[in-house]
Structure 1
Amino acid sequence: MPSAADRTRTLVQSTCSAVLLIPGVDTARPEQLSPQARVVGQDGEVYLLFAADSPAVRAATHAQDDELPAVLEITDVAPVSVPHRIRGRAWVSGWLTCAPGLAEPGSMMVRLEPGELYVDDLWGASSVDADAFARASVDPLIAHETELLQHLHTAHGDQVQELCALLGERSAAVTGQAGARAVPLALDRFGLRVRFVGHRCFDARFDFPEPVADITELRRAMHTLFTAAAH
């Protein structure tokens, strides 16, 4: 399974929605505190792009040499329609400063130096060390996960449904329910997670024979998975 640090790093560098929470900046609209872009630096610092006149930039500018605490909250929502759509959240707590000269005119990059990190997702909840976060790797499928899951759901729904054959005793919970369906919920280099929805809802994880590094390897892994289910 991916480590908590890898999962947090992947969420931070994904396109999931995010909001920067700053003590004292309570009157701003949520969209004013949502960064336009997120980049992680070599030492694990998180750079966030805002409009130059945004509340986040004003607060960081006003703080000057003082340490301004802030929390980046990221929410991961499944890109397919499924019960309980929120797949996870991550929080990066740290100190905010302006980083002039890194953005185009009219915008400003602010730097969040992580102190504490926490992830609560489909794998479980865990705190993350800032040094581990700096060393962590991003899942290679993250840039394509949304379109891949949507494609699996619309074009390969029958094959995803057939994966219940690999569930052993749990397959009866799916095959015995009229209208039960299987929805591809999450995809990473280690495998596919499917949510089986019926009278009761449960997730099943289907691991690949070995981790995949790109789309080509993913296609082979999915073919192996579907072939195993069909036989």
Structure 2
Amino acid sequence: MPSAAERTRTLVQSTCSAVLLVPGLEATRPELLCPEARSVAGDGDVHLVFPADAPAVRAATHAQDGDIRAVLELTDVAPVSVPHRIRGRAWLSGWITVVPGTAEPGRATVRLELDEVTVDDLWGAQGVDPDAFAAASPDPLAAYETELLQHLHSGHGDQVRRLWRLLGEHRDEPGPDDRAVPLALDRFGLRVRFTRGGATGSPADRSFDARFEFPEPADDLVALRRAMHRLFDATED
């Protein structure tokens, strides 16, 4: 399974939404606190690119000896329609300063020097050591995950539904109203959200997740294709 540090690093370097929460800027429109780009430096600092006149840039510019703290909040939403679409959130806290000369004209880079990291996702809530975050790498499939999940859902829905057959207590054949939607994908496996259509209660109450681990990590698309074929072939046994 991916470590908490790897999962957080993946969120930071993905396209999920992000907002920089800065004391004193609570009344600022949220869209003005959303960085245009973000990256992680070799030392683990997070670099955030904003318009040069953005409120966060002004606040960081006037910081005295890095005395302004901020929190980068990330929200990860599933790219397919499922009950409870928010897959996770992460909060990266630390001090902000402006890094001169690192952005194109009209833009500025704000550096977030981390001292506390927390992730709450499909794996649960967990603290992450900033050094572990700095040493981690994002999942190699992250750049393709949205497209792959949408393709699995729209083009291979029947095969995904047959994954019901691999479940333990839910192993019985799905009914016509039962759903199976690919929810998350990483190099270690595929997570699917199953929903019983004929059961009582809300869709969220009728839903459960199952994780299908790959025999070995799929570090590229070729290996992923091989792993997915093996997974779907198992439903025919």
* TM-score grouping bracket, smaller chain normalisation: over 0.9
2:218 to 205, 212, 222: 212
Q: Residues of 2 paired with 1:119 and 1:86: CA distance?
A: 13
Which structure shows the bigger proportion of residues in helix conformation?
A: 1
1:222 aligns with 2:228: yes
Q: Tell me the SS of whatever aligns to 1:169.
A: coil
Q: Residues of 1 paired with 2:110 and 2:163: CA distance?
A: 45
Percent of aligned positions with the same letter in both sequences? Answer: 69
Q: Tell me the SS of whatever aligns to 1:103.
A: coil
Comparing 59-68 with 37-46, greater Cα deviation is found at 59-68
**Contact 2:182 2:192 (C-alpha < 8 Å) held by counterparts:** yes
Displacement of 1:72 in angstroms is 0.1
1:143 aligns with 2:162: no
Q: Deviations over 1:145-189 (max 9, x none)?
A: 0000000000000000001111122223x62x4401100000000
Q: Residues of 2 paired with 1:120 and 1:2: CA distance?
A: 14
1:183 to 181, 190, 195: 181
2:48 matched to which residue of 1? Answer: 48
Displacement of 1:26 in angstroms is 1.4
User: Gapped runs of 5+ residues in structure 1?
Assistant: none
Counterpart residue type for residue 11 of structure 2 = L
Q: Tell me the SS of whatever aligns to 2:143.
A: coil
Q: Residues of 2 paired with 1:222 and 1:75: CA distance?
A: 27
Q: Tell me the SS of whatever aligns to 1:143.
A: helix
1:3 aligns with 2:9: no
**Contact 2:66 2:95 (C-alpha < 8 Å) held by counterparts:** no
**Contact 1:64 1:97 (C-alpha < 8 Å) held by counterparts:** no
1:39 matched to which residue of 2? Answer: 39
1:85 matched to which residue of 2? Answer: 85
User: Gapped runs of 5+ residues in structure 2?
Assistant: 200-205
Q: Tell me the SS of whatever aligns to 1:14.
A: coil
Question: Where does structure 1 differ by over 2 angstroms across 4 or more consecutive aligned residues?
Answer: none
Alpha carbon RMSD of aligned pairs, Å?
A: 1.0
Counterpart residue type for residue 54 of structure 1 = A
Q: How does 1:43-192 map to 2 (within 5 A)?
A: 43-172=43-172, 175=174, 177-192=175-190
**Contact 1:100 1:109 (C-alpha < 8 Å) held by counterparts:** yes
TM-score, length basis structure 2: 0.94
